[in-house]
């Protein structure tokens, strides 16, 4: 209810100018509404720099730098959640069909994620290194730790923090620091911007994108149009098209 009131409040204020007798709660009678904070949207140069920094991790030429470069690159290229990338198994990657199988994700759903040929090529290179350090059985972790097991979230976060500090990345969104999860947000925003430039039907495109990234509700994907400054122009264009059609 608090969120609904916040959505309606600007409309009510507008109506009050037309009709002073309009009544609307002036205080947060249902408490504070939860507002999404805008994410950091990586530039292309920042992503390239992050992957280059991962490649420089020590010991040079070992599994560790190859794993972090491949994992962060896959998150950026396919918009995966960090947890989804860490839980991948070798059998989830179909190199020949260029498809990833994401199993029982955040909402207990399984989905197929088609990959670009350049992403597949990068993963092939990683597998060439990985094969020297552990089993390639279907149930084995795709991204292998130096100890031969699945990467731990805490370890990954610690390594990422070091890379972020080395690069001097400054958060431009509503968070105090740049996050791995912002790579997923950046993927979504970049995809919507490209579709706009190509003149695609945004509504149809967002429906497909919502399925691709595994959102539970399509409204979670539409939020980016108004919640991320980079995409406000897309939202404005959508409104212009709506207004023109309504006027006609």
Q: Reply yes or no on whether the pLDDT at 248 is more than 60.
A: no
Structural domain includes residue 198? yes
Rounded to the nearest integer, the mean pLDDT of the chain is 91
User: Looking at 55, 111, 172, 181, which residue is catalytic?
Assistant: 181
Q: Provide the CATH number for the domain around residue 95.
A: 1.10.443.10
User: Looking at 81, 179, 190, 191, which residue is catalytic?
Assistant: 81
Active site residue 111: no
Active site residue 106: yes
Pair 125, 188 in one domain? no
Q: d(Cα 79, Cα 190) in Å, to the nearest integer?
A: 10
Structural domain includes residue 172? no
Structural domain includes residue 173? no
**What's the structural domain count of the chain?**
3
Q: Reply yes or no on whether the pLDDT at 139 is more than 60.
A: yes
Q: Is 94 helix (H, G, I), strand (E, B) or coil?
A: strand
pTM of the prediction? 0.82
pLDDT of 185-217, one tens digit each? Answer: 999 999 999 998 888 888 899 999 999 999 989
At 182 the pLDDT is 97
Pair 163, 191 in one domain? no
Domain limits for position 61: 44-167
Active site residue 35: no
User: Do residues 72 and 50 make contact, with C-beta atoms less than 8 angstroms apart?
Assistant: yes
Q: Which segment, 27-31, 124-128, 228-232, is predicted with the most confidence on average?
A: 124-128
Pair 240, 152 in one domain? no
Pair 52, 161 in one domain? yes
User: Do residues 110 and 103 make contact, with C-beta atoms less than 8 angstroms apart?
Assistant: yes
């Amino acid at each position: 209810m608090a969120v609904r009131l916040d959505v309606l409040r600007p409309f009510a204020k507008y109506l009050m100018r037309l009709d002073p007798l309009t009544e609307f709660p002036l205080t947060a009678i249902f408490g504070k509404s939860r507002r999404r904070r805008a994410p950091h949207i990586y530039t292309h140069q920042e992503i390239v720099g992050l992957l280059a920094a991962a490649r420089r991790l020590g010991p040079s030429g070992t599994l560790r730098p190859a794993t972090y470069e491949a994992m962060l690159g896959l998150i950026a290229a396919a918009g995966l959640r960090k947890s989804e990338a860490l839980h991948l198994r070798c059998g989830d990657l179909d190199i020949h069909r260029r498809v990833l199988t994401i199993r029982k994700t955040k909402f207990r759903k399984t989905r197929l994620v088609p990959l670009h040929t350049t992403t597949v090529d990068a993963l092939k290179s990683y597998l060439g290194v990985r094969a020297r350090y552990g089993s390639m059985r279907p149930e084995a972790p795709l991204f292998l730790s130096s100890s031969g097991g699945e990467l731990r979230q805490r370890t990954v976060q610690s390594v990422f923090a070091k890379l972020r500090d080395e690069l001097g990345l400054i958060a431009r969104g509503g968070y105090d620091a740049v996050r791995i999860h912002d790579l997923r947000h950046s993927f979504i925003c970049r995809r919507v911007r490209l579709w706009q430039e190509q003149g695609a039907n945004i509504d149809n495109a967002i429906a497909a994108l919502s399925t691709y990234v595994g959102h539970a509700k399509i409204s979670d994907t539409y939020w980016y149009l108004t919640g991320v400054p980079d995409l406000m122009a897309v939202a404005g264009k959508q409104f212009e098209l709506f207004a023109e059609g309504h006027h006609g």
